[in-house]
């Protein structure tokens, strides 16, 4: 009886699929209810193993969209579900036909989605800023790349237990791929580097750098150039500068320069590393025919000294191929461009490929498809052959392609367009467009949508292939250093009056590290030297650096500003969930002690750290002031920089014999290998017996420095019945509610009640308001009690101000989502409201009504009862809990409009009685799919 009671409980708590297609709208928010994270999509499109469904990520709306491919190319009518997941989903991979794993970059977790009931059933926290997941090995394991920890974590998908942690010798592991047998997993290292590093100014002997014959750098009368460091590159066992001078005597460390790591899934260790592929490695794929690995990448040309030398030619766009024997070959994607002539021709721009965000290899292994975010194209290459003969086609696509996948059986290519949240279907025969569909509501404000093309668009450069995103990748930094001095430039005098005694800006500024574009609001002036009063002052760089023949028009630069200025950091992973600093016993680094010292102790005369690097009230770490060169013991004036991303600059040590993950560290030129080294600068009064301990505490605090976004943002808990009374989970939820009360975040919850997707918004005082206006608020305990096996409920911290939209009014039309579903209007379309349900209603809900599966539980047979709004062919299929087909009750059966029912006799496809247990009955019509659980008892 206890077993039967348990089965009955499962039936009560497990809810089925409700298909509610959404209409694309990019709608300007009247309130600040959207935070612009701009996470880079990694693998936003994937098939289920049967290839019956296409899984597509709606990153700005934090959802997984599901299309039914058995009904034709993806369209609004074949879009069968939109499932809320975590913040900024960037990758999706199906474990089987019933389960998908969605990697959430800002939430630091994986949403495990039940594709039968179409909702999140579990949440797995994996570490800071995960990027991708694949399933491989025997037994099957999940491999998750965790970018800011430089590891691949391995999980048992059945128990979610972590079984291994695999370190990679590289910064930010990104895209993953497996070979056909699942014996190897390959990881593309996002910041692979290119063997460049910096020879600091104090190691460069006077007059040791020769005159540049192409760009003579004579002194400007009255203004000597600052003494700066020098970019060097490792070639074999030697370090050379741009002019061929050898610097082995000054540089005693090495660099790993790993671009792809190969993982043996039997031993879960890195079996081989591959180098020389590219600097920023985006997508990766493995040929199903010969195991060849393909990588889409850009290679930075920062070894080339001076801005005029790299103008219009900052990076090289290419694909790298690695054979199973480990042989690396490179195919450049823009061989048609003549970079010696700047600006280039329109013909060059028309065929250019840039920012190659993703790639896939065809089922027969003959073609590689590579997306070009910069030019709205897909490059089609032959996988074999030389670079000069490999390009087959350059296909125009939807705007901002970031995902591509080939459907070999249907001879179709699916391309995700990031700019407008749409999916395009092309024929692989002639590349004609077969379909184009919205993947759902886009809440991104119009100003950001309209400005995005000026940030990524190759038309902002000399030859059509480069953009600001070439170095400021996805709005962040490439962690590289560039010498963009201009020997022909002019000296910029200091301000007048000049109470600080600033010396002005010399055009020969020397090497400077790429700065992030995140968190720039209210931190002007910009640049390391503070020589740009605002973002518009960079407009001339489109000419001098990007090689364009003219700056952007004022209206275009204004649109560029609207995209860049709202860019936000993700939360800092080192902070506690309650936004406090971690502590540690004496003798161990303590961020809490470091924070106290930073805020309260004088370190430079009477000045405290906080006086210049403002940290009070989660400040950005800068007071926006310029500091004279003499006060810094530097050769030129510098601005006080913000400190919100120090934890992302690790991986470099200036130690003899050390093998580094990258070649640059901290400060304006990347010459300082650690914050501890920086804190040994003579201007800091940190001497005495406690000096080193204080430095360690300060470093811990700086690595945990608040980014302006609280750690509660993105944090998720899924309640599934057993967790409802879990004291730890309840305590974490209490912390989240306390953070909401402090205005550090909003809280929402998502689940299903009575076979309908539901949402809740936390309104304070331990109470939650649902997405139905007539319902009274419920307590946190009552909310958690709604979660159970098959009806799991997920609580999420979301950015302050976004809770109402994300929780209960998705399309901002003033009508709550649950109320809209009740009257068959579309909660994902602001033009479809209860007063105007005829505008793009959820079509499947009009065409079909699922009346139930009765009896349930059953012993011998059960009836599947439904109503058709129009005559249609119908499939009714029974699956077990693992997603395996048990019985096809009906296949393509033509039924008339009206009430219908079909009988399952409780037997499998072989006529044998099915075992007692939980099953799922899926009804498929021309208008969508619906799934209901059913229990067979003995």
Instruction: Kindly tell me if the per-residue pLDDT of 88 is higher than 80.
Output: yes
Of 752, 756, 754, 772, residue with least CA distance to 19? 756
pLDDT tier, 901 (very low <50, low <70, confident <90, very high otherwise): confident
Helices (H), 634-685: 675-678
Arithmetic mean of pLDDT, 581-588: 96
CA–CA gap between residue 399 and residue 417 (Å, rounded):
5
Q: 46-65 pLDDT, tens per residue?
A: 999 999 999 999 999 999 99
Given this model, what pLDDT does residue 181 score?
A: 97
pLDDT tier, 248 (very low <50, low <70, confident <90, very high otherwise): very high
Instruction: Kindly tell me if the per-residue pLDDT of 13 is higher than 70.
Output: no
42-74 burial, b if ≥16 CB within 10 A, otherwise e?
Answer: bbbbbbbeeeebbbbbbbbbbbbbbbbbebebb
pLDDT tier, 896 (very low <50, low <70, confident <90, very high otherwise): confident
pLDDT tier, 848 (very low <50, low <70, confident <90, very high otherwise): low
CA–CA gap between residue 387 and residue 331 (Å, rounded):
5
Helices (H), 808-842: 817-822
3-state secondary structure of 413: strand
Given this model, what pLDDT does residue 727 score?
A: 81
Of 284, 277, 239, 230, residue with least CA distance to 258? 277
Given this model, what pLDDT does residue 104 score?
A: 98
Instruction: Kindly tell me if the per-residue pLDDT of 6 is higher than 60.
Output: no
Q: 141-161 pLDDT, tens per residue?
A: 999 999 999 999 999 999 999
Given this model, what pLDDT does residue 3 score?
A: 36
Given this model, what pLDDT does residue 841 score?
A: 58
Residues 6+ positions from 180 with CB-CB distance below 8 Å: 286, 288, 291
Quote the percentage of the chain above a pLDDT of 90. Answer: 78
Given this model, what pLDDT does residue 389 score?
A: 73
Given this model, what pLDDT does residue 688 score?
A: 63
Given this model, what pLDDT does residue 160 score?
A: 97
Q: 453-471 pLDDT, tens per residue?
A: 999 999 999 999 999 999 9
Arithmetic mean of pLDDT, 659-669: 96
| Structure-model confidence comparison of residues 924 and 301, the more confident one | 301
Please report which helix (H) or strand (E) contains residue 554, including its range.
helix 554-564
Q: 725-782 pLDDT, tens per residue?
A: 678 899 999 999 999 999 999 999 999 988 789 999 999 999 999 999 999 999 999 9
In this structure, of 625-639, 687-701, 748-762, 789-803, the range with the lowest mean pLDDT score is 687-701
Neighbours of 348 (CB within 10 A): 19
Please report which helix (H) or strand (E) contains residue 750, including its range.
strand 746-753
- C-beta of residue 302 within 8 angstroms of C-beta of residue 287: no
What is the rounded average pLDDT for all residues in the chain?
A: 91
Instruction: Kindly tell me if the per-residue pLDDT of 192 is higher than 80.
Output: yes
Arithmetic mean of pLDDT, 348-368: 97
| Structure-model confidence comparison of residues 619 and 385, the more confident one | 619
CA–CA gap between residue 351 and residue 856 (Å, rounded):
60
Quote the percentage of the chain above a pLDDT of 70. Answer: 94
Give CA separation, 839 vs 2, 22, 362, 824, 868, in Å: 49, 11, 39, 11, 21
Radius of gyration of the chain (CA): 29
- C-beta of residue 887 within 8 angstroms of C-beta of residue 876: no
pLDDT tier, 895 (very low <50, low <70, confident <90, very high otherwise): confident
Given this model, what pLDDT does residue 26 score?
A: 33
The β-bridge partners of 868 are 848, 898
Of 239, 201, 16, 23, residue with least CA distance to 826? 23
Ramachandran angles phi, psi of 880, nearest 5°: -90, 180
Given this model, what pLDDT does residue 892 score?
A: 79
Instruction: Kindly tell me if the per-residue pLDDT of 21 is higher than 50.
Output: no
Arithmetic mean of pLDDT, 666-690: 88
Q: Which pair of structure tokens corresponds to residue 32? A: 């600040």
pLDDT tier, 121 (very low <50, low <70, confident <90, very high otherwise): very high
CA–CA gap between residue 859 and residue 857 (Å, rounded):
7
Query: Hey, CA dihedral for 885, 891, 892, 895, is it positive or negative?
Result: negative
Of 843, 811, 808, residue with least CA distance to 827? 811
Given this model, what pLDDT does residue 925 score?
A: 80
Arithmetic mean of pLDDT, 34-51: 97
Q: Which pair of structure tokens corresponds to residue 882? A: 């693992």
CA–CA gap between residue 326 and residue 616 (Å, rounded):
52
Ramachandran angles phi, psi of 899, nearest 5°: -65, 135
Of 332, 334, 357, residue with least CA distance to 344? 334
pLDDT tier, 68 (very low <50, low <70, confident <90, very high otherwise): very high
pLDDT tier, 19 (very low <50, low <70, confident <90, very high otherwise): very low
Instruction: Kindly tell me if the per-residue pLDDT of 585 is higher than 50.
Output: yes
Given this model, what pLDDT does residue 686 score?
A: 83
Residue 358 half-sphere exposure toward CB, CA atoms < 13 A: 25
Q: 689-725 pLDDT, tens per residue?
A: 668 999 999 999 999 999 999 999 999 999 987 666 6
- C-beta of residue 189 within 8 angstroms of C-beta of residue 260: yes
| Structure-model confidence comparison of residues 512 and 26, the more confident one | 512
3-state secondary structure of 151: strand
Give CA separation, 267 vs 170, 181, 185, 346, 841, in Å: 20, 15, 12, 52, 52
CA–CA gap between residue 406 and residue 428 (Å, rounded):
8
3-state secondary structure of 148: helix
Ramachandran area for residue 6 (φ above 0: left; ψ -120 to 50: alpha; else beta): alpha
pLDDT tier, 30 (very low <50, low <70, confident <90, very high otherwise): very low
In this structure, of 109-113, 625-629, 854-858, 893-897, the range with the lowest mean pLDDT score is 893-897
Q: 562-584 pLDDT, tens per residue?
A: 999 999 999 999 999 999 999 99
Given this model, what pLDDT does residue 12 score?
A: 31
Instruction: Kindly tell me if the per-residue pLDDT of 845 is higher than 90.
Output: no
- C-beta of residue 66 within 8 angstroms of C-beta of residue 80: yes
pLDDT tier, 498 (very low <50, low <70, confident <90, very high otherwise): very high
DSSP-assigned letters across all residues of 561-577: HHHHTTB-PPPPTTS-T
Arithmetic mean of pLDDT, 498-522: 95
């Amino acid at each position: 009886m206890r077993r039967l009671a348990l089965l009955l409980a499962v039936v009560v708590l497990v809810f089925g699929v409700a298909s509610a297609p959404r209409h694309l709208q990019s709608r300007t928010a009247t309130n600040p209810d959207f935070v612009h994270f701009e996470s880079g999509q990694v693998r936003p499109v994937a098939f289920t193993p049967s290839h019956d469904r296409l899984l597509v990520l709606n990153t700005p709306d934090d959802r997984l969209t599901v299309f039914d491919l058995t009904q034709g190319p993806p369209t609004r009518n074949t879009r069968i579900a939109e499932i809320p997941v975590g913040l900024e989903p960037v990758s999706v991979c199906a474990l089987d036909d019933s389960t998908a794993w969605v990697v959430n970059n800002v939430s630091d977790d994986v949403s495990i989605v039940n594709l039968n009931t179409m909702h999140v059933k579990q949440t797995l926290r994996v570490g800071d800023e995960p990027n991708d997941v694949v399933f491989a090995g025997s037994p099957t394991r999940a491999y998750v790349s965790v970018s800011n920890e430089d590891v691949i974590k391995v999980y048992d998908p059945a128990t979610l237990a972590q079984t291994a942690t695999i370190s990679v010798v590289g910064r930010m592991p990104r895209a993953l791929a497996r070979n056909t047998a699942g014996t190897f997993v390959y990881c593309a290292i996002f910041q692979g580097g290119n063997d460049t590093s910096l020879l600091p100014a104090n190691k460069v002997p006077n007059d040791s750098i020769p005159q540049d014959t192409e760009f003579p750098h004579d002194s400007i009368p009255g203004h000597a150039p600052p003494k700066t460091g020098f970019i060097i590159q490792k070639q074999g066992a030697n370090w050379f500068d741009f002019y061929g001078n050898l610097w082995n005597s000054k540089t005693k460390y090495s660099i790993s320069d790993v671009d792809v790591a190969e993982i043996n899934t039997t031993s879960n260790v890195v079996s081989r590393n591959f180098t020389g592929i590219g600097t920023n490695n985006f997508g990766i794929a493995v040929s199903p025919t010969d195991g060849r690995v393909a990588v889409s990448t850009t290679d930075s040309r920062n070894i080339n000294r001076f801005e005029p030398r790299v103008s219009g030619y900052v990076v090289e766009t290419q694909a790298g191929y690695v054979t199973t024997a480990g042989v690396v070959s490179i195919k450049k994607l823009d061989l048609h461009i003549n970079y010696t002539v700047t600006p280039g021709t329109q013909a060059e721009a028309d065929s250019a490929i840039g920012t190659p965000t993703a790639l896939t290899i065809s089922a027969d292994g003959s073609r590689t498809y590579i997306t070009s975010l910069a030019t709205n194209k897909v490059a089609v290459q032959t996988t074999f052959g030389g670079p000069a003969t490999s390009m087959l086609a350059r296909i125009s696509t939807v705007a901002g392609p970031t995902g591509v996948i080939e459907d070999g059986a249907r001879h179709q290519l699916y391309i995700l367009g990031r700019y407008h949240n749409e999916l395009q279907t092309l024929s692989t025969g002639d590349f004609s467009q077969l379909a184009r569909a919205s993947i759902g509501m886009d809440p991104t404000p119009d100003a950001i949508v309209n400005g995005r093309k000026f940030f990524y668009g190759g038309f902002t450069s000399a030859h059509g292939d480069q953009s600001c995103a070439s170095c400021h990748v996805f709005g962040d930094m490439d962690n590289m250093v560039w010498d963009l001095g201009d020997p022909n430039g002019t000296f910029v005098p200091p301000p007048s009056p000049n109470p600080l005694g600033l010396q002005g800006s010399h055009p020969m500024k020397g090497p400077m590290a790429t700065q992030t574009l995140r968190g720039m609001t209210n931190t002007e002036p910009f640049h390391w030297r503070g020589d740009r009063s605002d973002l518009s002052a960079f407009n001339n760089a489109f000419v001098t650096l990007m090689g364009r023949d003219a700056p952007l028009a004022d209206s275009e630069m204004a649109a560029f500003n609207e995209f860049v200025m709202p860019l936000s950091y993700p939360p800092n992973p080192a902070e506690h969930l309650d936004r406090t600093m971690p502590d540690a016993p004496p003798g161990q680094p303590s961020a809490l002690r470091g924070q106290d010292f930073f805020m309260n102790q004088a370190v430079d005369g009477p000045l405290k750290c906080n006086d210049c690097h403002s940290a009070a009230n989660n400040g950005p770490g800068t007071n926006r002031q310029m500091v004279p060169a003499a006060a810094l013991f530097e050769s030129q004036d510098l601005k006080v920089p913000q400190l919100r991303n120090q934890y992302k600059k690790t991986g470099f040590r200036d130690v003899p014999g050390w093998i580094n993950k990258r070649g640059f560290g901290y400060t304006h030129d990347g010459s300082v290998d650690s914050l501890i080294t920086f804190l040994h600068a003579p201007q800091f009064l940190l001497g005495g017996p406690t000096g080193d301990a204080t430095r360690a505490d300060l470093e811990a605090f700086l690595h945990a420095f608040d980014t302006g976004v609280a750690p509660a943002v993105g944090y998720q808990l899924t309640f599934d019945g057993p967790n409802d009374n879990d004291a730890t989970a309840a305590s974490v939820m209490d912390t989240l509610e306390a953070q909401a009360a402090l205005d550090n975040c909003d809280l929402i919850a998502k689940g299903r009640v009575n076979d309908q997707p539901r949402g809740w918004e936390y309104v304070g005082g331990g109470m939650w308001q649902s997405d139905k206006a007539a319902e009274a608020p419920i307590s946190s305990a009552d909310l958690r009690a709604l979660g159970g096996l098959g009806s799991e409920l997920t609580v999420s911290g979301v950015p302050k101000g976004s809770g109402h939209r994300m929780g209960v009014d998705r399309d901002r039309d003033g009508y709550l989502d649950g109320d809209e579903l009740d009257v068959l209007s579309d909660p994902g379309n602001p033009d479809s409201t209860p007063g105007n349900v005829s505008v793009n209603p959820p079509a499947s809900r009009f065409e079909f009504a699922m009346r139930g599966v009765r009896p349930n539980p059953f012993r011998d047979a059960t009836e599947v009862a439904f109503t058709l709004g129009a005559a249609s062919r119908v499939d009714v299929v029974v699956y077990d809990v693992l997603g395996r087909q048990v019985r096809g009750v009906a296949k393509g059966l033509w039924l008339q409009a009206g009430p219908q029912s079909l009988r399952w006799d409780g037997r499998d496809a072989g006529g044998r009685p099915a075992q007692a247990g939980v099953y799922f009955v899926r009804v498929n019509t021309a208008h969508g799919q619906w799934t209901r659980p059913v229990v067979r008892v003995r």
